């Protein structure tokens, strides 16, 4: 056996009590509910003080931070140019290219939008008139393979960097039960690649309340699955629904101490009780599902 191979093995082994967790999470929801601000806030809290935060922007999401100057500190914005950009970024980070060697966290806002844009690249390359023709199976196949490859490239950083994924949401009907389930707006051909590597998959919502007089937004994050909402948590101490402040506080605490896996069975919320149907085969979050 070559010494270089032995050295590579030794570099991949460390005592478990010395291992430091790197956060990996997916937040999804409708536009304007506060996903970008939540992730910027959490990144500021858990990124080491000597590291910068890279914000990969696919759709001008950064303007949300203009009202929060404290969240812009040490954040570098990278304008999304194409799917291949992610693979080049990973290579630059792994090779310690100057300017890319001091990031501690990376926020992808919104990864579902980048997937949607890549579909248009595929259609244009195949000379498909998007106004007259629908994508064919081969186009979805090309898109799926490239996105899956990109995800695997990004996850090469999961042991060294905090990774934040942001996505839109989509309501998808269960083909057998005909029940509509809210899930991340991605493509379902990757079969759990993302879900299996995330500590949290949370759906963020915002409702309007007049409880204190003037109307104001009340934001929640659903961190565990229910009948009609896809979610997941491996972080102990998170209730089914939590406020953004409790969400970030709990993750900060968990990063410091760590707890047992806290994945819960699918339950039923009060607002879901009026919906009848067989939920026994509700699929878990299985990967990406492209916005048409």
Q: Please tell me the distance from the alpha carbon of residue 133 to that of residue 252, in angstroms, as a whole number.
A: 48
Question: What does the pLDDT read at residue 277?
Answer: 54
Residue 208, Cβ neighbours under 10 Å: how many?
8
Q: Please tell me the distance from the alpha carbon of residue 165 to that of residue 270, in angstroms, as a whole number.
A: 29
pTM for the model stands at 0.78
Question: Over the chain, what is the mean pLDDT?
Answer: 78
Tokens of 159: 């042991």
Instruction: Evaluate whether 25 touches 164 at the Cβ level (below 8 Å).
Output: yes
Collapsing DSSP to helix, strand or coil, 285 comes out as coil
Span 90-109, average pLDDT: 94
Tell me: pLDDT of 54 over 60: yes
Type and span of the H or E element at 125: helix 111-125
Identify which of 86-100, 210-224, 276-290 has the greatest average pLDDT.
86-100
Exposed/middle/buried for 244, CB within 10 Å: 0-12, 13-18, 19+? buried
Task: Dump pLDDT digits (tens) for 130-150.
Answer: 555 555 556 556 566 667 777
Instruction: Evaluate whether 166 touches 110 at the Cβ level (below 8 Å).
Output: yes
More confident residue, 208 or 114: 208
Domains of the chain, CATH where assigned = 3-266 (3.40.50)
Tell me: pLDDT of 247 over 80: yes
Q: pLDDT class for 173, splitting at 50, 70, 90?
A: confident
Task: Fill in the DSSP letter of residue 74.
Answer: T
- Is the N-terminal amide bond of 110 cis, ω within 30° of 0? yes
User: CB pairs under 8 A, 24+ apart, for 280-283?
Assistant: 281/174, 281/176, 281/177, 282/174, 282/177, 282/179, 282/181, 282/225, 282/227, 283/174, 283/181
Residue with tokens 């000379």: 127
Question: What does the pLDDT read at residue 143?
Answer: 62
Exposed/middle/buried for 38, CB within 10 Å: 0-12, 13-18, 19+? buried
Instruction: Evaluate whether 219 touches 46 at the Cβ level (below 8 Å).
Output: no
Pairing of strands 162-167, 24-28: parallel
Q: pLDDT class for 29, splitting at 50, 70, 90?
A: very high
Instruction: Give the lowest-confidence range in 61-70, 91-100, 188-197, 244-253.
Output: 188-197
Task: Dump pLDDT digits (tens) for 176-185.
Answer: 777 888 988 8
Q: Please tell me the distance from the alpha carbon of residue 179 to that of residue 278, in angstroms, as a whole number.
A: 8
Q: Please tell me the distance from the alpha carbon of residue 176 to that of residue 240, in angstroms, as a whole number.
A: 26
Tell me: pLDDT of 211 over 90: no
Q: Please tell me the distance from the alpha carbon of residue 37 to that of residue 77, in angstroms, as a whole number.
A: 14
Portion of the chain with pLDDT greater than 70, in percent = 67
Question: What does the pLDDT read at residue 266?
Answer: 67
Question: What does the pLDDT read at residue 281?
Answer: 46
Instruction: Give the lowest-confidence range in 92-106, 198-212, 255-269, 272-286.
Output: 272-286
């Amino acid at each position: 056996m070559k010494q270089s191979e032995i050295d590579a093995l030794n570099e991949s082994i460390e005592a478990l009590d010395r291992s430091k967790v790197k956060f990996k999470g997916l937040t999804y929801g409708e536009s304007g509910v506060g996903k970008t601000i939540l992730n910027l806030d959490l990144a500021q809290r858990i990124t080491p003080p000597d590291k910068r935060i890279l914000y990969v922007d696919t759709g001008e999401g950064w303007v949300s931070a203009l009202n929060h100057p404290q969240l812009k500190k040490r954040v570098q914005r990278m304008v999304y140019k194409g799917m291949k950009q992610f693979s080049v970024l990973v290579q630059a980070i792994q090779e310690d290219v100057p300017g890319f060697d001091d990031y501690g966290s990376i926020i992808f806002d919104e990864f579902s939008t980048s997937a949607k844009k890549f579909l248009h690249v595929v259609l244009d390359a195949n000379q498909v008139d998007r106004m007259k023709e629908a994508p064919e199976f081969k186009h979805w196949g090309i898109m799926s393979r490239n996105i899956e490859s990109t995800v695997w490239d990004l996850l090469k950083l999961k042991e060294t960097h905090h990774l934040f994924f942001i996505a839109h949401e989509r309501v998808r009907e269960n083909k057998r039960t005909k029940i509509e389930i809210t899930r991340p707006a991605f493509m379902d051909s990757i079969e759990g690649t993302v879900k299996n590597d995330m500590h949290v998959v949370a759906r963020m919502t915002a409702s309007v309340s007049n409880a204190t007089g003037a109307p104001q937004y009340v934001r929640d994050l659903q961190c565990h699955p229910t009948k009609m909402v896809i979610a997941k948590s491996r972080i102990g101490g998170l209730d089914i629904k939590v406020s953004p402040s409790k969400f970030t506080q709990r993750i900060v605490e968990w990063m410091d101490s760590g707890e047992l896996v806290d994945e819960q069975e699918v339950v039923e919320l009060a607002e879901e009780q009026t919906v009848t149907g067989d939920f026994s085969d509700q699929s878990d979050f299985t990967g990406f599902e492209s916005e048409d």
